[in-house]
Amino acid sequence: MPDKTVKTHCCFCGQQCGVQLKVKENTIVGIEPWYEFPFNRGMLCPKGVKRYLQQAHPDRLLHAYEKDSSSRSGFRKLAYDTAIARVAEAIERIQREHGPNAFALLSGASLTTEKTYLMGKFAHMCLRTSNIDYNSRLCMVSAAAGNKKAFGIDRAANPWSDILSTDVILVAGANVAECAPITTNYIWQAREHGAKIIVVDPRITPLARTCDLFLPIKPGRDAALFNGILQLMIENDWLDHDFIEQHTVGFDALAGLVREWTPRRTAEVTGIAEKTIRQAAELWGTAKKSFLLHARGIEHHSHGVQNVLSTINIVLASGRIGKPGSGYATITGQANGQGGREHGQKCDQLPGGRDLGNAEHRAYVAGVWGMNPDDLPQPGVDAYELMRKAHSGEIRGLLSICFNPVVSLPTTISCGPRSRSSIFSSPSISS
């Protein structure tokens, strides 16, 4: 029998399902459903069911290690005090010889919010380096930029409960059934109440096989599709003119831009039949309530921000946001993708979603930290550029926590000599 149960969240993705951990002698030995938790109401996906195995998994590292060519494994155990002192000494030496920006940090969105705050503060206040970024750079950062451009804030505003009472759900670039099964349940419940489901994806995903309208788009053509849908909304006057007038800017310029995206041209570019594009525009345009969801499928592009903005455009043109059963949201992939950005480990942000390049924001955070705003570094570069700077020798040391660049940035990390930089890596309970 367990000694106690502890209410917490599953740490594997951004859905953050509630779960109760069964604990015996300070070791997690199982789980119990948390039926009262409002989001998942006791349900868990296969990853969540196995979440309890993480703490005592035999592959989990419990010690610090250093390279040892004489050891069969190539490493030997190292006392943590020794390891921490060695890292601190190396950081001090590198920055003394080559300047503050010669040292960089790669952090992760599986860290708790408190840890992401600490990583940003460690980089900007302690090390005073511009060179920090995090692994959601490879995840939903295009959604973050798109949301900030459109709404002035790096987040979507709608609760998942709005999905349940909507009339039309449009899912773009998200394999919801396999990657966010609990969200799939929300979509299925909405369908049981009469909602129509539109799926935009190059593949026939499980959700696409059961949806009302499937748009098999050519990869990378998402902005073209949504521009074409918006053009049909304008042509048929499926617009909320009062909302556009009171709550948006630049609509006339946008209307002029999408005029060239006729159904025929949109079909040629996207590979979707013209008839299907018209059906999607009518379903979306004439709905009384609607909800749009997207994920990495439209965001992982060199023009990912434009893709995101094109989806937001059809939401704003319809006026169906900020109302019950209507809205827009990004499906967060990592456990703390949102908090990872908002609290200071993104290369151009300070805690609270503030901007590192904004004088007012710098002064406020510096006041909280008890330092001169002029001593805060300027905005740095993204994770890709950090690796390139390391290979060129500009960055001489790198601390990585909760980020596996060998897997996430394989071509970048192997594109040049590695002897110029020292790399320190730290595992995390939630990595």
**pLDDT confidence of residue 412:** 66
In whole angstroms, give the CA distance from residue 121 to residue 33: 36
Q: What is the DSSP letter of 217?
A: P
> How would you write the pLDDT of the chain (431 residues) with one tens digit per residue?
889 999 998 888 888 899 999 999 999 999 999 999 999 999 999 888 988 888 888 888 889 999 999 999 899 999 999 999 999 999 999 999 999 999 999 999 888 889 999 999 999 999 999 999 998 888 888 898 899 899 988 877 789 999 999 999 999 999 999 999 999 999 999 999 999 999 999 999 999 999 999 999 999 999 999 999 999 999 999 999 999 999 999 999 999 999 999 999 999 999 999 999 999 999 999 999 999 999 999 998 889 999 999 999 999 999 999 999 999 999 988 888 877 888 889 999 999 989 999 999 999 999 999 999 999 999 999 998 999 999 999 999 999 998 888 877 776 665 444 445 556 555 433 32
Would you list the DSSP string of 349-390?
A: EEGGGEETT-HHHHHHHHHHHTS-GGGSPPP---HHHHHHHH
Q: Residue 168: its pLDDT value, please?
A: 98
Residues 6+ apart with CB under 8 A from 126: none
d(Cα 345, Cα 354) in Å, to the nearest integer?
A: 11
Dist. CA 267–CA 232, nearest whole Å: 13
Give the relative orientation of helices 274-286 and 222-235 as an angle to the nearest 10 degrees.
60
Give 19-31 as a DSSP string. EEEEEETTEEEEE
Residue 416's H or E segment, with its range, is none
Residue-wise DSSP of 33-77: --TT-TTTTT---HHHHTGGGSTT-TT---SEEEE-TTSSSSEEE
CA distances from 13 to 68, 95, 158 (A): 35, 36, 18
Look at residue 429 in the predicted model and tell me its pLDDT.
Answer: 33
Of 336, 339, 326, the closest CA to residue 157 belongs to: 326
> Residue holding tokens 């950081």?
91
Domains contained in the chain, CATH given: 4-53 (2.20.25.90), 99-138+337-426 (3.40.50.740), 141-330 (3.40.228.10)
